[in-house]
Amino acid sequence: MKLKDIYNSILREGSMRDPRGAKGIKRYLGKIKKEYSSLSPKDKKLFDKEKLTNPYSDTRLLHGNPNKQIKNVMVGIDVDTQELLLALALSKKGKKIDLLISHHPQGFARGMFHEVMNVQADIFKSLGVPAKKAEKLLDERMIEVARKGHAANNMRPLDAARLLDMPYMCAHTVADNCVVDYLKKLIKRKRPRTVQNLIDIISSEPEYKDAILTHAGPKLILGKPSNKCGKVFVDMTGGTEGPKKIFADLAKAGVKTIIGMHMSEEHFKIAKKYKLNILIAGHISSDNLGINLLLDAIDKKRSLNIIECSGFRRVKRKA
């Protein structure tokens, strides 16, 4: 497969499983195009034009010739400079690496990370949160995330990839979209009654089974296993944790159980007030599930040779 074909396939699969749907993505890109058209000629030169067609600022081809043929792909949760050097060492030993894929955003994609949080507004609206309230709270949270990440030295691993001339990309929200889509369909099909039923359903997936063995599996941090699960919110896409104040609105909208990858102490303390069931499925295990689903979708013929690293374990599901 050519590098550009892998990249475009990843974007396409992530879009097909986007909680916003095709209309929501079109609406978002339309907004970006409108913003671009209103810029001065000077500002247009500085604008990242890929935003006009790619709705995921945290999924980018960071370095490499798009026409390069790819066979051996090193995939990891976090592919940083050390993984690039590992790939170089493996190549010297005869295990050639054609491409490195990081799940978490790197380089300039990390600097735009907060922008993908826009997807959360549509998710909150679909759960019954008033549109204006969802957008207001999310705007505040996006500004907070952008402010925290602005000072980071994001270009270090990308500089390493350029110096080593190693094709390098990241695929974040596209994979997280796959997790949400998969788990929502699984829960709908299994129709769990209690939180324990939910735990059992999730724990049956290979990625979560492996995580249990390494003490990083599903963990109920709020509520009891015997509680009715009620309306379930699978909270695993949209960049990072949403606004802390959203829990009151989610509870008001009838949400009883939240399944997430992780939760900060600040978020936990506020969620506790609303007597929600909070099931943390696991961060790295959920990321593994998303990447595996993405790889299954883009490589149906199994033509890519995947080299696991940085917390990633390849699990192939039947088509």
Residues 6+ apart with CB under 8 A from 18: 24, 25, 55, 119, 177
Whether residues 135 and 229 fall in one domain: no
Q: Are residues 78 and 182 in the same domain?
A: no
DSSP 152-212: S-TTHHHHHHHHHT--EEEE-HHHHHHHHHHHHHHHHHH---BHHHHHHHHHTSHHHHHHH
Say yes or no: 122 and 195 in one domain: no
Give domain status of residue 319, yes or no. no
Q: Are residues 156 and 203 in the same domain?
A: no
- Could you give the CA distance from residue 301 to residue 124 in angstroms, rounded to a whole number? 37
Which pLDDT score, from 0 to 100, does residue 318 have?
Answer: 80
* Domain coverage including residue 240: 178-282
pLDDT tens digits for the chain (319 residues)?
Answer: 999 999 999 999 999 999 999 999 999 999 999 999 999 999 999 999 999 999 999 999 999 999 999 999 999 999 999 999 999 999 999 999 999 999 999 999 998 889 999 899 999 999 999 999 999 999 999 999 999 888 899 999 999 999 999 999 999 999 999 999 999 999 999 999 999 999 999 999 999 999 999 999 999 999 999 999 999 999 999 888 989 999 999 999 999 999 999 999 999 999 999 999 999 999 999 999 999 999 999 999 999 999 999 999 999 998 6
Whether 253 is in a domain gets the answer: yes
Structure confidence at residue 239 (pLDDT)? 86
β-pair partners for 99: 73
Residue 235 β-bridge partners: 260
Q: Are residues 199 and 63 in the same domain?
A: no
- Same-domain check for residues 62 and 189: no
How many CA within 13 A on the CB side of residue 244?
Answer: 11
Whether residues 220 and 134 share a domain: the answer is no
pTM over cut 0.75 = yes
Query: In terms of domains, do 138 and 252 share one?
Result: no
Count of structural domains within the chain: 2
DSSP string, 80-118: -HHHHHHHHHHHHTT----EEEESS--THHHHTGGGGGH
CATH of the domain at 249: 3.40.1390.30
pLDDT of residue 319: 66
List C-alpha distances in Å: 159 to 19, 37, 81, 84: 34, 32, 9, 11
Token pair of 308 as six digits: 């696991």
**Is 210 inside a domain boundary?**
yes
The answer to whether residue 317 sits within a structural domain is: no
Whether 77 maps to a domain, the answer reads yes
Tokens representing 242 are 């949403």
**Is 314 domain-assigned?**
no
Instruction: List, in order, residues 6 or more apart from 276 with CB less than 8 Å away.
Output: 222, 223, 247, 250, 251, 255, 256, 257, 258
* Residues 134 and 233 grouped into a single domain: no
Tell me the helix, strand and coil percentages in the chain, rounded to 5: 50, 15, 35
The phi and psi torsions of 77 (rounded to 5 degrees) equal: -70, -45
Please tell me whether residues 201 and 135 are part of one structural domain: no
- Number of Cα atoms under 13 Å in the Cβ half of residue 106: 25
Residues 241 and 143 in one domain: no
How many Cβ atoms from other residues are within 10 Å of residue 315's Cβ? 17
Task: Note whether 126 and 208 are same-domain residues.
Answer: no
| Residue at 315 is within a domain | no
